Amino acid sequence: MLPLVHLCLYLSALGTAFAATAEEWKSRSIYQLIVDRYALPDGADPTKCNPADQTWCGGTWNTVRENLDYIQNAGFTAIWISPVSQNYQGPRTAYGDPYHGYWIADASKLNDRFGTANDLKALSDEVHRRGMYLMVDVVVNNVMSTSLTPDLSTYMFKDQSQYHPYCPIDWNNITSEQNCWLGDTKVPLPDLNTQNPTVVSGYSTWIKSLVETYNIDGLRIDAAKHVDAEFWPQFCGAAGVYCIGEVFGDDIDFASTWQGPLDAILQYPMYNALVEAFAIPGPQNMSAMSDMIAQSKQKFKDPSVLGNFLENQDLPRWHNLSVDPQSLWNAMVFNWMSDGIPIMYYGQEQGFSGNADPYNREPLWTSKYENSSTYQFVTKLNTLRNFLVSSTDNWLNSTTEVLTTTDYGLAIMKGPVISIMTNIGSPVRAFEPVLDAMANVPVILTCTQHVVGSNGTVEVEYSKGGVPTILVPTSILENSGICGQGNVAVQQTKAQIVSSALSDVLARPMSGFAVAALFLLGLFNSGIGL
């Protein structure tokens, strides 16, 4: 039987067109995977995949379909799969084989390494049967070659005029970034001329057919900033679905200009702020977060449809950057409980620690798909977020507000929900209050009974280290099943939130002035079943 939240999403999806808009996507949480590395066919040898070998390991569209329970049981409501187009077919290159799917040959053909058209349709059908969305990665900027003078007959576009002439990129010049070739002289990536009318119309026809044939709900667009911005409205208009683009880099002024031509981008500026604030070791500059939140609200047209992430196929794993697991969980709370669409790269939930390409493309099956602590943690986050999306009127469309920030902590409020994050890490550590006194914050619901102090405060305990905390009003969770909530009548009042490192705060006597029954939803260490 499907859990309640999954069932609600499933029933909702039955009445939804497959072509999903940005507005529909912002209610989702996304699990990103590389098809070749997610799951093996029955009988395959699970010990024969070394990421350093840069070659195929055996995953297919069928093996993804056959192992969707692992994703859905963690509460994810969408999957993002690596590109489905035909890739380079030839001798092994200096950088291995195109197991990842990004070395495009003929975009209009499917990659038979991963299956047939019927296999891809079956995957799409099963994703939708479960009430989930399907996002497909697409590469439009370039094709792949092993020569600076490739045989164009092997590509979708076969005329020299449909490509920019070779030139190395000047990374200080946006025109050069868009017209010159990615890659290098060993594996060059010939650049399509996306200002050529034949290329524009050809791509528009192809993407419309791909989306309609396989009922694709959204597109992740590789190297989006390397294509002229004027191309994207026609391309995404032909697709008729949500388009989120890769705009690599931490310059928010530049990144924000791409929301408009595209529905959204992956939030690289926020990713860099998360690393700066939470990674251990690191600068632990929490003000980078409050600053980036403010800038995002000011500069992006709609932060609520941007993609929040901590890992992907181009970045070192979080565990490679930060040795402390609490740093991951605190950063994850921000991505799930703030504006934007949470995205998790496969293996993050299993603590994978590979550095950059190719070591961050490990096979997932080596984890045995364990019910790890981070898998449990993300399940709780998804359960809560899915409930807030489906059962509240104001959470999803509310704007994230920073309540307070210090060197050690950040408190945000989205709708009626307060999330408290800290960068102190796992060891017990005394520090000044993370949260300054704040007025007009609602009394909240938790999974452990506490009380409001005589001065109208709630104290958050850090004697077990820097665990994140999410506080939810009682009235929101009534009848939710979360924290065992049925029909519960709990007094509502106003409170101020402060933080303390004291281990005995929960034993303090109650005052008769502002006492109310509270519950604290400590997502990692509470041991609760949501």
Q: Which residues are catalytic?
A: 222, 246
Q: Tell me the C-alpha distance between 87 and 301, whole Å.
A: 35
Q: How far apart are CA 190 and CA 451, in angstroms?
A: 64
> Residue 394 in contact with residue 415, Cβ under 8 Å?
yes
Tell whether residue 53 is among the known ligand binding residues.
no
Q: Which amino acid is at 238?
A: A
Residue 306 corresponds to which tokens in the numbers above? Answer: 């941007």
314 belongs to an annotated ligand binding site: yes
Q: Would you state the structure tokens that stand for residue 213, as one six-digit string? A: 């044939």
Q: Consult the annotation and say whether 54 binds a ligand.
A: yes
Query: What sign results for the dihedral spanned by CA atoms 281, 286, 289, 291?
Result: negative
| Phi, psi values for residue 388, rounded to 5° | -60, -35
Q: Judging by beta carbons within 10 Å of its beta carbon (0-12, 13-18, 19+), is residue 393 exposed, middle or buried?
A: exposed
Cβ neighbours of residue 445 closer than 8 Å, sequence gap 6 or more = 471, 472, 473, 474, 476, 477, 483, 485, 490, 518, 519, 521
Give the start-end residues of each E strand in 74-175: 78-81, 133-139
Q: Which pair of tokens denotes residue 97?
A: 């084989």
Place of tokens 């102090």: 453
28 in Cβ contact with 336 (< 8 Å): no
175: helix, strand or coil: helix
d(CA 23, CA 30): 15
Q: What angle do CA 45, 48, 51 make, to 5 degrees?
A: 140
Residue type at position 414: K
Q: Which residues fall in the annotated binding site for substrate?
A: 54, 103, 220, 314, 361
Q: Which residues fall in the annotated binding site?
A: 54, 103, 220, 314, 361
